[in-house]
């Protein structure tokens, strides 16, 4: 991928995460990378295709790291723990992607949510469900995966408010601390 296109995709992720899809225009993105709007259209036909390319590229790097963890030759409990540790680390390191997802959840645009769910998240989510079925066959793997992702995402989402709540400690922002707490809850449910 050429440098201009990479720069455009990075700027797009930043802007979409700060202002949401509806708050960003192609002109905003062109201005952010110091090119003309017509030059931007040489790279992307429209905002939708730019959005999908930017989000796909950003998520692909995460999925490329997470997917192999689900295939490790270790016990299912160990795979789940490694998956959660890595997912927590990725959530902690990429505030832009977290914010972008929050915008999409709040906006509830069905077309973009369908794109995220089916085109990006589905393979990883299916792998997670398979692992959970192996760990707890009687549980609803879909709902359990949603709950686990929620447990991981919520501390990062709540960070601005949590810093003012009683009992807050600096280590509560550490991905290893969050993953340990999630695993404590899951071990009580899943056994080991």
Greater pLDDT, 191 or 120: 120
Residue pair 98/156 in contact by the 8 Å Cβ criterion = yes
Supply the pLDDT for residue 191.
81
pLDDT band at 20 (very low <50, low <70, confident <90, very high): very high
Angle at 107 between CA 18 and CA 57, to 5 degrees: 55
Give the span between the Cα atoms of 152 and 183, in whole angstroms.
10
Query: In 3D, which of 171, 56, 73, 176 has the Cα closest to residue 123?
Result: 56
Supply the pLDDT for residue 1.
55
Q: 56-190: what CATH class?
A: mainly alpha
Q: Provide, rounded to the nearest whole percent, the portion of the chain with pLDDT above 90.
A: 89
pLDDT (tens digit per residue) in 25-59: 999 999 999 999 999 999 999 999 999 999 999 89
DSSP for 35-51 reads: --HHHHHHH-SSHHHHH
pLDDT band at 111 (very low <50, low <70, confident <90, very high): very high
pLDDT (tens digit per residue) in 157-180: 998 999 999 999 999 989 999 999
What are the φ/ψ torsions at residue 168 (nearest 5 degrees)? Answer: -65, 135
């Amino acid at each position: 991928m050429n440098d201009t296109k990479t720069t455009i995709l990075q700027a797009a992720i930043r802007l979409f995460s700060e202002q949401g899809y509806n708050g960003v225009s192609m002109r905003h993105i062109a201005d952010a990378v110091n090119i003309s709007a017509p030059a931007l259209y040489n790279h992307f036909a429209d905002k939708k295709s730019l959005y999908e390319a930017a989000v796909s590229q950003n998520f692909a790097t995460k999925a490329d790291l997470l997917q192999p963890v689900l295939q490790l030759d270790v016990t299912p409990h160990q795979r789940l723990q490694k998956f959660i540790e890595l997912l927590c680390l990725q959530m902690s390191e990429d505030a832009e992607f977290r914010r972008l997802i929050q915008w999409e959840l709040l906006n509830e645009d069905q077309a973009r949510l369908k794109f995220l769910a089916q085109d990006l998240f589905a393979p990883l989510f299916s792998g997670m469900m398979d692992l959970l079925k192996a760990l707890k066959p009687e549980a609803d793997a879909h709902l359990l995966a949603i709950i686990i992702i929620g447990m991981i995402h919520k501390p990062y989402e709540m960070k601005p408010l949590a810093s003012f709540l009683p009992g807050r400690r600096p280590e509560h922002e550490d991905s290893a601390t969050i993953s340990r707490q999630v695993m404590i809850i899951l071990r009580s449910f899943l056994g080991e």
